[in-house]
Amino acid sequence: MSMKKFVVLKSLQLKTVDCTLSQDFEDSVMNVKCLPLYSTKANDTNSQESVVISYVCTLKPRPGPLNLEKCVEHGVPPGPLLGLLKNGIDVTLENGTVVKSADVSEPNENPLSFIFLDIPSVEFLDNLEKHHELLVNTRINPDKTPELALMVHFAPAEVLSNNVYKTFLEKFAPSTQHIFLNAAQNTFSGYIAAHRIQYQLNQLNPKVFPILAEATNLLGGLSSKMKKTKLDDEDAVNEMEPVSRHSESSGFEQRLNDLSTMSVYHLRPRKGLDRTSEAKLQPSEYINETQILPDFP
């Protein structure tokens, strides 16, 4: 009851949309198609448990940059005409010459799409074949990159190991990146602050404040070996690297199973996976913070 009316948003307005009606969303950046998948064991097709929503997102290609050298060659004078050409609009010069935007611009950006696929159980696998044409995209862009750049999977181990799902994945272009966000290896919650204070309290009394089980699993038992007397020994404390940090290859480029909070995948510009800001445990850093406190026991 103490939290009742803690936050009151009187002006907040929410608009709900029934995604099972397959209504598409579109703005100036992308088009999003809702894809409802139904369970084969559900008795009531209208129940929330019988349907999950996946999303097929397509980025709208950006026009290529204006080539000023080509503009000069076509006799385009400096001024507002350059802005029109940059926006993809053909212009007519004073002498009546028509200059097309495509003739003075670099090639447009390649089409790019990505999919969020939610398959919570094997009961939803039969529905995949019904949407085969929409989901399976093997088209390749002129620069040899796949039009479907990324596929993010929300699927438990029983689905990932199912032959129907494996066959489904093999139909994609080999260079399409697959990321599994809730695979068995995704065991780190990303709560750095909770681990920091627990490591520091552990220095006071390891029995009263044991290292969190999550950290123990990730560090492969190294946590129990960390003592204040070993702080000056660099070999005694290793920074967190998950025990099973790996990627699998099975007919397509990579299956990433161990991403943590703050991992970023760049689609525009297309730089791919960026793990530089990924949340990681730094046990030695947390413990060293206690050593600079004059009154810390």
pLDDT of residue 243: 34
d(CA 37, CA 281): 37
d(CA 183, CA 191): 18
Q: 290 is written with which tokens?
A: 């206690």
Question: For residue range 163-198, what is the model confidence (pLDDT) as tens digits?
Answer: 988 888 888 877 788 888 875 666 777 788 888 999
pLDDT of residue 144: 64
What are the helix and strand counts (H, E) for the chain?
A: 8, 12
Q: Of the candidates 196, 183, 192, which has an alpha carbon nearest to the alpha carbon of residue 255?
A: 183
CA angle 122, 47, 20 (to 5 degrees): 85
Q: 190 is written with which tokens?
A: 């990303």
Q: Which DSSP letter does residue 257 get?
A: -
pLDDT of residue 232: 37
pLDDT of residue 271: 83
d(CA 232, CA 159): 47
Residues of the chain with pLDDT under 50: 45, 221-253
pLDDT of residue 117: 92
Q: Where are the beta strands (DSSP E) in the chain?
A: 25-26, 30-38, 51-59, 91-92, 98-99, 112-118, 148-154, 177-180, 247-248, 255-256, 264-266, 272-274
Q: Of the candidates 177, 121, 122, which has an alpha carbon nearest to the alpha carbon of residue 145?
A: 177
| β pairing state of 177-180 and 255-256 | parallel
CB 216 within 8 A of CB 228: no
pLDDT of residue 20: 59
pLDDT of residue 145: 65
Q: Where are the beta strands (DSSP E) in 60-158?
A: 91-92, 98-99, 112-118, 148-154
